Amino acid sequence: MKISIERAKVIESWRIFIIDDNEILRGAFRFHDGYEAHELLSATGALTKAKQTEPDLLVLAEGIIRVNGLDLIQEFLARIPEAKILVVIDQVSSGFGQLCIASGAHAFLAKPLRAELVRHKVDALLSAKKKAVAPPLKVANMR
C-alpha cells in the first residue's frame, strides 16, 4: 500500500494578516483568489489572532512598527517563525525599510502602493515560503 500526500492540496489558500489602523492600506492588500486576508488594527490584536490561526504573511505598516519598536519584527518571528514579514514604509529615502530588513523582515514596499506591485511582492514572498515546504511525502508498503 502506498500513501502519498500532495502538499498543494493541503495549502488551499494563503492567510495574510494586514496590520495597520489605516483602512486604505488594509484595502490595498485585499485579494480574492487564493488569499484569506485578515485586517487587524494593532500588533497585539495580530499576536492574539495568531494563537488561533497562524498567518503565512504579515503585512506591517511603518506606523505600527514605529509605535511598537523594531523589536516587534523579532517578536513576530519568534512567535510565528513560518510567517514571512512584509513592511509597508512611507518613503524609501528614510532608510526605514532597510532597518526593518536588518531587524528580520523579509521585504518592504514603499508608498504610494500600486496594485500590481503589491500583488507581485506578495506572490514572491509566498512562493518562497511554498518552496520551503518539504516535498510530498511518500510512504512505501510497510508490512
Q: Report the alpha-carbon distance of residue 131 to residue 135 in Å, rounded.
A: 9
| C-alpha dist (Å) from residue 20 to 5, 11, 29, 41, 128 | 37, 26, 11, 5, 24
Give 5-25 pLDDT, tens digit per residue.
444 444 458 999 999 988 877
Q: Report the alpha-carbon distance of residue 45 to residue 19 in Å, rounded.
A: 9
The domain of 24 spans: 3-139
**Pairing verdict, β 84-89 and 57-61:** parallel
Q: Report the alpha-carbon distance of residue 33 to residue 14 in Å, rounded.
A: 9
Q: State what percent of residues in the chain have pLDDT above 90.
A: 61
* DSSP sequence for 38-77: EEESSHHHHHHHHHHS--SEEEEEHHHHHHH-THHHHHHH
Grid coordinates belonging to 66: 514605529
> Domains in the chain: how many in total?
1
Mean pLDDT of 49-77: 96
Q: What does the pLDDT read at residue 132?
A: 58
Q: What does the pLDDT read at residue 134?
A: 45
Which has more pLDDT, 95 or 1?
95
- CATH number assigned to the domain comprising residue 40: 3.40.50.2300
Give 113-134 pLDDT, tens digit per residue.
888 888 899 999 998 877 655 4
Mean pLDDT of 139-143: 41
